[in-house]
Amino acid sequence: MFVKTVLAAAVLATSVAAHTNVRGFYISGQGQAYPTKDWDYCVRPISGSQGNNPLTEYSGKKFQCNDYTGPAAGTCEAMPGDEVTMVIHEHSMTEDYAVGGAHHGPIQAYLAKVDNAATTGVTGLKWFKIFSRGLIHGGAGRNGIADNVDDPSMQYWATNVSCWMLGGFLEEKEANKNKGLVKFNLPTDLAPGDYLLRGELIALHNAGSPGGAQPYVSCAQLRVGGNGNGNPSTVTDISYSTSDPGLLLAIYYPMTSYTPPGPAVYVAGSGGTGNPTTTTTRQPTTTTTTTRTTTTTTRGPITTTPGQCSGGFVTVTQPGNIVTVTEQGPTVTVTASGNTDGTGSGPCASKYGQCGGIG
């Protein structure tokens, strides 16, 4: 069954790519293949006043399932272990890519078990994360649509690093190269019953100051069969801090690792595992990695000096800061450099102006 979900959105009449829609989920074994247009059957519709804008707060009722106006038309069916494909497009005319305008960042999915998916509210629900994908590999900072998507020295995000990529279906978790398709599986021990399935994309192009990260969220109604007995750890109401290292960072300087915000990802038969932290040796680094259970990062202040929109420089100052990552095993310490310069437009537009938005 194919489910439409508007996970945030922007259909903006500009020559520059704007925000995005996660337009749907479809589930294996339901006899309905992409790109069918029956998108809004299981997704709670978003209000016109919220429209195409990202959410501006990282907690509260709206952050759970966006500003929805009521239940979906129906509830879609699934089985434990089913493959779910999240479909992310800016609008109906941009089905060759997921997101434009340098909207680099993580893509995640959550479930909350409920008594009745069609009638449940969204406050006080107990959520667990089933998918999380952030920085696929590190590298030099990303500066917008001019970057070569296949350059191994550049950052490569779950949203992908191309704004106008028309490529084929490649590495299955990289959204733009797969024409907006992101795949994951439901836990194989998922207990039967009704659930809300929450999709989330967070754009980090303006995340150099608190509250600058742009979340796009929407929920679908799901009914799971089978006889699973999974008992995942949960969090009551999804809430992120504006100072979370996964939401407060400048992606315009070289990065070697990134941990998405939120709780651990649930793995069948366990209480959850740590969010995936990508670490790469593409850039010189003194980082040593071990198997993680939890990750806590302490950062120094980040200061971004806007450059010229025509292609000036962005200077990110991290004055001799030390980033310490505490793991189950050893402690990993990375000493960052003082100043890092990266070419690009920089955050010199209005609030949504960098990505073609309004306001």
What are the tens digits of pLDDT across the range 282-314?
344 334 443 443 333 334 443 333 332 223 323
Buried b (16+ CB within 10 A) or exposed e, 203-229: bbbbbbeeebbbbbbbbbbbbbebebe
Spatial distance between the Cα atoms of 177 and 193, rounded to a whole number of angstroms:
34
Q: Which residue has the higher pLDDT, 256 or 261?
A: 261
In this prediction, residue 256 carries a pLDDT of 87
Segments forming the whole domain that contains residue 262:
1-283
Residue 325 lies in a domain: no
Q: Mean pLDDT of all residues in the chain?
A: 68
Find tokens 């200061």 and name the residue: 303
Which CATH number covers residue 149? 2.70.50.70
**Is 116 inside any structural domain?**
yes
Check residue 207 and give its pLDDT. 95
**Is residue 261 in some structural domain?**
yes
Number of structural domains found in the chain: 1
Q: How far apart are CA 52 and CA 33, in angstroms?
A: 26
Model confidence at 226: pLDDT above 50: yes
Indicate the DSSP class of residue 255: B
Question: What digits encode the pLDDT tens for the residues 239-250?
Answer: 999 999 999 999
Q: Strands 76-78 and 214-224, how do they pair?
A: parallel
More confident residue, 310 or 267: 267
**How much is the pLDDT for 9?**
30
Query: Which of 47-61, 125-139, 300-314, 345-359: highest mean pLDDT?
Result: 125-139
Assess if residue 305 is contained within a domain: no
Domain assignment of residue 314, yes or no: no
pLDDT score, position 91: 58
How confident is the model at residue 240, as a pLDDT? 98
93 in any annotated domain: yes
DSSP symbols for 108-146:
EEEEEEES-TTT--STT-EEEEEEEE-EEE-BBPP-STT
Q: Are strands 193-203 and 107-114 parallel, antiparallel or unpaired?
A: antiparallel
- Whether 155 maps to a domain, the answer reads yes
**Residue 165, pLDDT above cutoff 70:** no
Task: Quote helix, strand, coil % in the chain, to nearest 5.
Answer: 0, 30, 70
Confidence of residue 278 (pLDDT cuts 50, 70, 90): low
Expressed in angstroms, the distance from the first to the final Cα of the chain is: 37
pLDDT at 222 over 90: yes
**Domain presence at residue 301:** no
The pLDDT of 128-134, averaged and rounded, is 95
User: Which pLDDT band holds residue 117 (cuts at 50, 70, 90)?
Assistant: very high
